[in-house]
Amino acid sequence: MGRVAVVTGGTRGIGAAISKALKAAGYSVAANYAGNDEAASKFTEETGIPTFKWSVADYDACAEGIKKVEAELGPVDVLINNAGITRDAPFHKMSPEQWREVIDTNLSGVFNMTHPVWPGMRERGFGRIVTISSINGQKGQFGQANYAASKAGDLGFTKTLAQEGASKGITANAICPGYIATDMVMAVPEKVREAIIGQIPVGRLGEPEEIARCVVFLVSDEAGFVTGSTITANGGQYFI
């Protein structure tokens, strides 16, 4: 068995692509999901990757979930913080609940998942943490004060972990995807999608597999000197 990797939100979209790519690269993968039992069951049936259900917004659930993964697969060496939600609204109409839900999942969820695996990584002298942020965490986005804040927070969290983990063989990096051809993006009206593509210099949406390939590199032994970095994978739409 290869190193154990946990992918949150790992059964659909970008997360599913990451889970599959890590398995193909020889990792023993556990795909976490929060609610869609049907999609998770289909994913396991098609890939053979085991799925584990818990909400990353719940710290105790994360700690228990990690224990279950480690009991079945072994110590977690690689963590991919991919789970995320949106609750979009212009700021003057955004409710405290919409704010909290997004922060609890997209930002606190990264803490909730990383905190339980951090001691083991320190003890073993090896760890790889990759957090999927967003182009909108870099540049902001109308109607996404909550989402942009959470994804920007993920970047600050990553840079701090990189400094604290460096002496223990742990790297922490982030990826900021642009617009990717997931079910969610493909479901928007065609005219809106065309307008989005018109803002991307390469002239197309990204593919989930392109983000997955970035992850596979960052978690590899060969990437041991890369930490605290942000890979901006957006087709040239935004530079930072």
- Residue type at 192 in one-letter notation: V
Q: Quick one: tokens of 103? A: 């922060």
Identify the active-site residue in 27, 33, 59, 147. Answer: 147
Strand pairing partners for 31? 7, 51
User: Helices in the chain by DSSP H: which ranges?
Assistant: 13-24, 37-47, 59-73, 96-106, 108-124, 135-139, 145-165, 183-186, 190-198, 208-218
- Alpha carbon distance, N-terminus to C-terminus of the chain: 39
C-alpha 240/C-alpha 229 separation (Å) is 12
Q: Is 238 a catalytic residue?
A: no
161 in Cβ contact with 170 (< 8 Å): yes
Q: Quick one: tokens of 73? A: 């697969």
Buried-state track 8-29, b at ≥16 Cβ within 10 A, e below 16: bbbbbbbbbbbbbbbbebebbb
C-alpha 168/C-alpha 44 separation (Å) is 34
* Residues with catalytic roles: 147
